[in-house]
Amino acid sequence: MAAPPKSRIVAIYPGSFDPITNGHLDLISRGSKLADHLIVAVLENRRKQSLFSVDERVEMLREVVKPFANVEVGCFHGLLVDYVAERGANFIIRGIRAISDYEYELQIAHMNRRLSPGVETVFLMAAEAYSFVSSQLVKEVASLGGNVSEFVPPLIEEHLKNRVSKRN
C-alpha cells in the first residue's frame, strides 16, 4: 500500500519591502526552510507613501530571491487573511527585531486569528546583525547620501541611489 501524499506546507511572508533589506532576505532564507513553498507578498497600501511602486518592489524582490527555488513573489491588497485563504497558506511569517515589534505584531496576529481562526503566525527573531535595520532607516540614510551597502543587496543599493538622486 502506497503512503498517502505528503501535504504541502505553504507560508506567506507579507510586507511593504520598500525597499527589501538584508534583514528581509535573512528571514526569506530561514522561512524558505520552514515551508515547502514560501510566498513573499508585497502589500499594496495606498495610504502609505512609498519610495518604489508595488511593481518595482515585486520586480526587485523577484531578482533577489532567485537563489531560493521554493520562493515566489506576489502582491495583495486588502486583508492578509483573505490572501492567505486565496493562496491556501498554512501560516504567516513575521519578523521581530525588538520588543516594540513584538507588541505590534502580536496585536496583528490576534486580529488575523480572530478574523480567520485557522490562520497561525510564526515569529522569527531578526538575526543580530539586522536587528536595528528597517526599510525606513535605510531610505533615510540613502537619502542623506550615506552608505547602505551592508544593509541591502547590491541591486537594491543601485535602485536606491538612482531613486534618491532623482528626488534630491
- Find all residues with CB under 8 Å of 141, minimum gap 6, and list them: 147, 148, 151
Domain ranges of the chain: 10-167
Q: Which fold has domain 10-167?
A: Rossmann fold (3.40.50)
Low-confidence ranges of the chain (pLDDT < 70): 1-6, 168
Tell me the per-residue pLDDT of 110-127, one tens digit each, with 9 for 90 and over: 999 999 999 999 999 999
What is the model's pLDDT at position 1? Answer: 61
**pTM above the 0.85 mark?**
yes
State the Cα–Cα distance between residues 107 and 63, nearest whole angstrom.
32
What is the model's pLDDT at position 157? Answer: 95
What is the model's pLDDT at position 7? Answer: 73
State the Cα–Cα distance between residues 106 and 103, nearest whole angstrom.
5
Residue positions annotated with a catalytic role:
24, 48, 97, 135
CA 84 to chain centre: 14
What is the model's pLDDT at position 4? Answer: 55
